Structure formats: C-alpha cells, structure tokens
Amino acid sequence: MGLPSGRELREVAHVVALPLATRFRGIDVREAVLLRGPSGWSEFAPFTEYEDAEAATWLAAAIDYGWGAEPDLVRDVIPVNATLPAVEPAQVAEVLDRFGATRTVKVKVAQAGQTLADDVARVRAVRERLGPAGRIRVDANGGWNVDEAEHAAHALAPFDLEYLEQPCASVPELAELRDRLRDWQLPIAADESVRKAADPLAVVAAGAADLLVVKAAPLGGIAASLRIVAASGLPTVVSSALDTSVGLAMGARLAAALPDLDYDCGLGTAALLAADVTPHPLLPREGRIPVDRVDADPDLLSRWVATTERRDWWLARLDRCADLLHDHPAG
Ligand SMILES: [Mg+2]
C-alpha cells in the first residue's frame, strides 16, 4: 500500500460536525473527517485534545481502511451492547431506548464530579430495566484508585457485573486490583491500557487483565489490531470511539475478522448521534449490526459540514499527521 500524501488526503476529505443525542465525553458535537479512499469511505476522528503523535496512529487506521487490503471475514453480523453515558437514573430509559432491544449495556461510571452513589443508582436503574438475564459491564475510564475500585466492586456486586472496564489508570494498579478480586470471578478489561500505551501488550504481560477492549482507530487499523489480539491470547471486545457509521463499519470489520468473539461489542454508538453521514446509520437492530462498508452520503456531508474555521483546523491536523506517518511509516 502506497501511503497517500497529505495533499492527496485533503483532496478527498470532508469535515463534518455531528450533533450528539446525549452529551458524552463532555462534548455535544462530534467532529470527524470522512475520507474517500480507493477501497471505500474511511474516517479520521481522533478526539480534538489528542496530540499529533497519537492522532497519527488514527490516521494510519483510516488509511489502512480506505486504501488497504480487506481482511478475511468469519462472520457477517456483530452483537453489540448499548452504551450509557453517566446520566441520571431518570434518563436511563430514554437513552437506552435509542439502542433498541439489546441484552448488554455498558455503563459509564467514576465520572468526575459524581459519586459512587450516583454510579450505584445508575447501574440499579439499568438492572431493573434489563432484568436478571441482561448483561451489565461498567467502564470507569481509569477513574478509581485501587481502594476505590475495590470498594466500587463491592457496592456494585448486587447487580451482577459482566466485567469491570479500566477501573484504574495504570497497569500496576490493574494488576493489584485483579489480585484482590481474584476470588470474585469479576473479570477486569483493559481499554486505555491497550490503546494509549506505548506497548499495548504490556498489560497482558503484567497479568493485569482478563480481557481486552480493542479499538481499530487508536491501534492503527484492522490488521494491526488483529496482530495485537492474536499476540495477547485474551478474549476481546471490539469497541469504538463515538465514530460515525463509517468508522463503526471499520470496527465491525475488525470484529468480523476475529477468530473468536465471546462478548458483545461496543459498536452500537450510532444511537448516541443525532445525525450521521449516511441515511442508513449502523443502529443496532435486535442487538446486532451488519458487517458492511458504509458510504458517506454527499447531501449529508454538506448538511453537517463543519465551519470553515474547524475545517481548516482538521485539515492542518490531517497534514501534520500525514507528515508524521511519512517520517515514521510504522505509525
Ligand atoms: Mg472504555
């Protein structure tokens, strides 16, 4: 695969600003660059606060998906979970309704400015809605220290969690927590410790996780992600980063290429967007999404085009990241 230059990328780039249905990650609007590559539409949407070195890995993934070869696929639908931001219990039904009938919900916890009581109330509301057969996982985004995480695990035990995602920020903390919870049968999933680490497999080597959350964009693409999963030897949940349906389709392709897929994937988040770049968003139906490339629609790209100022900001970032990739082709 010849790496497209920054100029070539700009020529096929469309910058959009999509409103969210629910405030998430502290944002109300999701900005993304849609890229029309020879293999199909692709997406470059690292969060705005990320430095160029990290964002360049997201660009490697976008190029892999839009310009690279197709992986071999072993399934054509992907079971997905609903994703619940750190909302009030009274909002739980309204948010989850957007995902349709899903058996699994990922609940955001440990939000700055909230308490464990808020988390317990939110998880309780989800359990009441799902009933005993539903699966609930919580994601702390590294917001707890080890003691807080252990305390939270006790407080949330009555709600029968599927796993605890990134309860603490660092690998040593995860390892200690996993040790403390060893008799609990409460698995620990690593997310930031995979996608934001210099070595995504360090968390595995440290024995600090029972499963991995894997996202194609921050890991440099589908092929790179498949190599990491294979080397880890751990079960995997494929997830996304509030992508448009074009980016979610890349995640679905990664999930479809994995030899084993034991958990529902975090690829249902089109439901959190109030607008998308396709008239056929990858919304979960009966808890699944299909594995198909998604094309961006010209009318919707125009409808949701970013302001000139934001467009210039993204195209300059695209350029800088392309330069970084050309200087360091391994990404
Ligand atoms: Mg996470």
pLDDT at residue number 331: 43
Mutual orientation of helices 222-232 and 52-67 as an angle, nearest 10°?
110
Alpha helices in 44-170 (DSSP H): 52-67, 92-97, 116-130, 146-156
> Which secondary structure element, helix H or strand E, spans residue 190, and what is its range?
strand 188-190
- Domains of the chain from N-terminus onward: 6-70+298-327 (3.30.390.10), 77-290 (3.20.20.120)
pLDDT at residue number 167: 98
Cα 278 to averaged position of ligand 1 atoms, centre (Å): 26
pLDDT at residue number 330: 57
Is 165 assigned a ligand-binding role in the annotation? Answer: yes
* pLDDT tens for each residue of 43-63: 999 999 999 999 999 999 999
Is 327 assigned a ligand-binding role in the annotation? Answer: no
Angstrom distance (rounded) from CA 185 to CA 162: 9
Is 54 assigned a ligand-binding role in the annotation? Answer: no
pLDDT at residue number 198: 86
How far is it between the farthest Cα atoms of the chain? 56
Angstrom distance (rounded) from CA 205 to CA 189: 14
pLDDT along the chain (331 residues), means of 10: 88 97 84 97 97 97 96 97 95 94 96 97 98 97 98 96 98 97 92 91 96 96 97 97 96 98 96 96 96 97 98 98 87 43
Active site residue 106: no
Cα 133 to averaged position of ligand 1 atoms, centre (Å): 23
Cα 73 to averaged position of ligand 1 atoms, centre (Å): 25
Which is the catalytic residue, given 98, 122, 127, 215?
215
Active site residue 196: no
CB atoms within 10 A of CB 46: 23
Which is the catalytic residue, given 14, 30, 106, 108?
108
Token pair for 51: 């430095």
Cα 12 to averaged position of ligand 1 atoms, centre (Å): 31
